[in-house]
Amino acid sequence: MERPYDRTESLNMLLSTYLPDRIRKAVKGIKDHYLKDLEEIRIRSGLPLMGVFSGSDYFISEDGVLSHNSQSALTVAPKEVNSLFLLLCEQSVYAYQEDIIRGFITLKGGHRAGICGTVVYEGDKIKAIKDISSINIRFSRQVKDCAKDIFQKLIRNRQDIYNTLILSPPRCGKTTILRDLCRLISQGVGNDRFRGLRTAVIDERSELAASFRGVPQNDLGPRTDVLDGCRKSQGIEMMLRGMAPQVIIVDELGAKEDADAIRMAWNAGVRIIATAHAFGLEDFKRRLGVGQLAGKDGFERIVLLGMDNGKRWAKVMDANGNEYRALAESYRMPDGFCRVRGCGNEDVFEACGETACTGKTHRNSS
């Protein structure tokens, strides 16, 4: 039986493993009803300790008292920032140097520490970040079933799904939805309604699986293989050759090479679920390289995510932009994601002979 996510346990593990004494004591002193809303701890050299609670900033005193006044907060010593940095790297900076260059370190439990300091270049490439000045520990939380209703619109038949592109501006939940879709595709849904497919995740920025020492910290389903830290274009080719996936999942399409690799996967009969930054379908279509993937013979379903007055919404459309449904705010889930209300989805379960891994071309009439 699946063990429920225990945020307190995860937080305690994080505190005892990584935080220096004074900061640990301060965070542990925060009252439980505030602690459950803690999203980030911001630790800056020579500046007050700060926490982000449900999107709002508060300074944290030595005893864990929250305030908008920075005077009463615990001032972090430069030595503590350095000590925290070494603890985050498990006293082995070299083992995390690729992560450090990318600006963050993935921690046990899927949490993430963003790093700031002085950037060292070698030619035009970042070689290292030295003199670490601030660290932002962001608490990860997998929102299971947030994509359950969207997923109903992406099922072609019980053994196949539509090639799907998820579009939204930043911070609208693309990656969270993609992660849950991956879990649902891999795991299957209901009593034989959708059986689950072999899924490959190319996790270029370690955001989907949040692998820690090779072990995914997020649940991506039982049929999922993860290629961590690999470029999308190279990863798709590697997965096609080595792992025979039925579905490949990639986050944040952008480069022209990504488009070529996706076409390669489609030619091999593999389904693609991808995300991209865009305000809408037309916006995405204007993108050089990847934009053409949304046209004819491209993605068959487009999921558009957005936010109105702090409330998230989702729309599912076909390749021509015809909407399958719109969202009402009343369908907003407690976790911040919206439920999709069913309408006009008769075609979703229409039987289709082609399965994800056997088709000669990526497209089939829907």
Partner 1 sequence: MSLRLVERQRALAKLTEILLNLRNQICKLGIPLFMAFENVGRESNSGVWSDIFIECGNVMRQQHIDAGEAWKKVIKKMGNSVPLDDSDWHVLSDFWELLGKSDRENQESILDLEKENLEMLEKRAKEAINTKGRLYRNLGVLSGAAVVILLL
- The residues binding partner 1 (CB under 8 A) are 17, 86-87, 89-95, 97, 127-128
Paired tokens of 307: 């936010």
Question: How far apart (Å, rounded) are the C-alpha atoms in residues 275 and 279?
Answer: 12
Picking from 34, 49, 37, 41, the residue whose alpha carbon sits closest to that of residue 18 is 41
Cα pseudo-dihedral 241, 246, 251, 255, rounded to 10 = 50
Question: How far apart (Å, rounded) are the C-alpha atoms in residues 275 and 322?
Answer: 19
